[in-house]
Amino acid sequence: MANNDSEWRADFPLFQQHPELAYFDQAATGQYPQSVIDALNAYMTGANAPLHRGLYKLAYAATEQFESVRSQVAEFLHAQAADEIVFTSGTTAALNLVAQSFGNLIVDGNSEIIVSIAEHHSNFLPWQHLAETTGAKLLIAPVTADGAIDEDWVLAHIGMHTRIVALAQETNVTGAQLQQVRTIADRVHGQGGYLVLDGAQAVAHTDVDVQALGCDFYAFSGHKIYGPSGIGVLYGRRELLVEMPPVTLGGGMINEVTTLTASFAPAPLRFEAGSQNALGVIGLGAAIEYLQPRRAAITAYLKGLTSQVRSALAELPAVTLYSSPAAPATVSFNVDGVHAHDVATFLDEADVAVRAGHHCAQPLMHALGVSAVVRATLGAYTTEDDCQRLIAGVREAAAFFAEARHES
CATH number at residue 43: 3.40.640.10
Same structural domain, 13 and 84? no
Same structural domain, 318 and 209? no
> Is the CB of residue 61 less than 8 Å from the CB of residue 47?
yes
The residues, ordered by sequence, that sit 6+ positions from 37 with a Cβ below 8 Å of its Cβ are 13
Convert the pLDDT of each residue in 42-82 to its tens digit. 999 999 999 998 899 999 999 999 999 999 999 999 999 99
Final residue before a domain boundary, out of 243, 266, 291: 291
Same structural domain, 315 and 173? no
Same structural domain, 283 and 333? no
Work out the mean pLDDT of the chain and round it to a whole number. 97
CA distance 96 to 198: 11
The proportion of the chain whose per-residue pLDDT surpasses 90, expressed as a percent, equals 96
Same structural domain, 266 and 348? no
pTM of the model: 0.97
Same structural domain, 65 and 168? yes
CA distance 188 to 292: 30
Beta bridge partners, 138, equal 113
Nearest to 219 by CA among 126, 137, 315: 126
Catalytic residue among 360, 367, 370, 392, which?
Answer: 360
State the pLDDT at residue 5.
Answer: 82
Mean pLDDT, residues 325-334 taken together = 98
Judge whether 360 counts as a catalytic residue: yes
Work out the pLDDT band at 164, boundaries 50, 70, 90. Answer: very high
State the pLDDT at residue 408.
Answer: 64
Q: How many independent structural domains does the chain possess?
A: 2
Q: Tell me the longest C-alpha to C-alpha distance in the chain.
A: 75
Mean pLDDT, residues 325-338 taken together = 98
Same structural domain, 245 and 383? no
Q: Are strands 352-353 and 22-23 parallel, antiparallel or unpaired?
A: parallel
Final residue before a domain boundary, out of 291, 319, 350: 291
Convert the pLDDT of each residue in 169-206 to its tens digit. 999 999 999 999 999 999 999 999 999 999 999 999 99
How remote is the C-alpha of 168 from its chain's centroid? 8
State the pLDDT at residue 198.
Answer: 99
Q: Say whether pLDDT at 2 is over 50.
A: no
Mean pLDDT, residues 379-388 taken together = 98
Domain that holds residue 334: 9-24+294-402
The residues, ordered by sequence, that sit 6+ positions from 148 with a Cβ below 8 Å of its Cβ are 171, 174, 176, 177, 179, 324, 326
CATH number at residue 298: 3.90.1150.10
Convert the pLDDT of each residue in 269-283 to its tens digit. 999 999 999 999 999
Work out the pLDDT band at 407, boundaries 50, 70, 90. Answer: confident
Same structural domain, 349 and 252? no
Q: Does residue 17 lie in a domain region?
A: yes
Final residue before a domain boundary, out of 257, 291, 325: 291
Q: Does residue 146 lie in a domain region?
A: yes
Q: Does residue 30 lie in a domain region?
A: no
C-alpha dist (Å) from residue 115 to 101, 150, 363: 18, 11, 11
Same structural domain, 138 and 120? yes
CA distance 225 to 211: 21
Same structural domain, 190 and 303? no
Same structural domain, 267 and 146? yes
